[in-house]
Amino acid sequence: MAKRIFDPATLMYPLPVVLLSCCNREGKLNIITLAWAGVSASEPPMITVGIRPSRYSYSMVCEVRDFVINVPSEDQIEAVDLCGTKSGRDVDKFAACHFTPVTGKAVQSPLIQECTLNLECVVRHQVSAGSHGIFMGEVVAVHVDESIADERGLPDPAKHRPVLLHRGSYHGLGHLLRKR
C-alpha cells in the first residue's frame, strides 16, 4: 500500500461540531461554533476545546472560567454556520438563531435549550498551543433531552444526528458498524 506524505497538518477526521456557549461577568452571552473539541479524560470527565485568542468567546471563557458544550443536530446547520461566521461583538447569536438561553445547574454560562445534548464544564486547565488557547473543562452536569435518549437515557447518535466537520464541509453521521 503506497502512502503519500504531507506536511504537518491536523488531518484527523471527522471532527465533532459543537456550539460552545459562554458569558462574561456582566452577563453578555455568546455562542461560538467549534470543531476543535473532544474528550480528554474520563475520570474526571473532561472536554478539551481550542479557541483562537482573537475570538470574542476566548476572553469570556478566560474571565468566567466555565462554558457549555451544546451538541447541535443536522437540522440546526444554519445556526451552526451563523455562530461560526459572525462575531458576538456584532451579533446577538442567541437572538439571530432563535435560541433560548437556559440557566444551567452548575455554571454561569447558559445552555442552549434547542440543543438536545448539553455539557456544563468548569475550566480546570488552560494552555497556549500556537494559534489556539486550549481549555480543559471538567464536565460537571449533563443534560440529555428525552427525544434523543436510548433505553438507558443516554444519547443515541441515530436519533440525535450530530454534525461533523471534514475539510471545511459539514457532514452527518454514518451508520453503525458494530455494537459493543
Percentage above 70 pLDDT, the chain: 98
pLDDT higher than 70, residue 86: yes
Q: Residue range 7-24: average pLDDT?
A: 92
Residue extents of the structural domains in the chain: 15-167
Bridge partners (DSSP) listed for residue 101: 112
Q: What is the DSSP letter of 149?
A: B
15-167, what's its fold? Pnp Oxidase; Chain A (2.30.110)
Task: Print burial letters for 122-143: b (CB count within 10 Å at least 16), e (below 16).
Answer: bbeeeeeeeebbbbbbbbbeeb
Q: What is the pLDDT of residues 24-80, one digit of tens each?
A: 999 999 999 999 999 999 999 999 999 999 999 999 999 999 999 999 999 999 999
Residue 172 grid coordinates = 452527518
Query: Cell 474520563 identifies what position?
Result: 42
CA–CA dist 42, 77 (Å, integer): 29
Residues whose CB falls within 8 Å of the CB of residue 21, separated by 6 or more in sequence, listed in order? 29, 30, 31, 67, 68, 70, 101, 109, 110, 111, 112
Q: What is the pLDDT of residues 120-144, one digit of tens each?
A: 999 999 999 999 999 999 999 999 9
Q: What one-letter code names the amino acid at 93? A: K
pLDDT at 73: 97
pLDDT higher than 80, residue 23: yes
Q: Residue range 8-32: average pLDDT?
A: 93
Peptide bond into 14 cis (omega under 30): yes
Kind of pairing between the strands at 66-70 and 111-112 = unpaired
Q: What one-letter code names the amino acid at 162? A: P
Helical segments of 116-156, H only: none
pLDDT at 177: 65
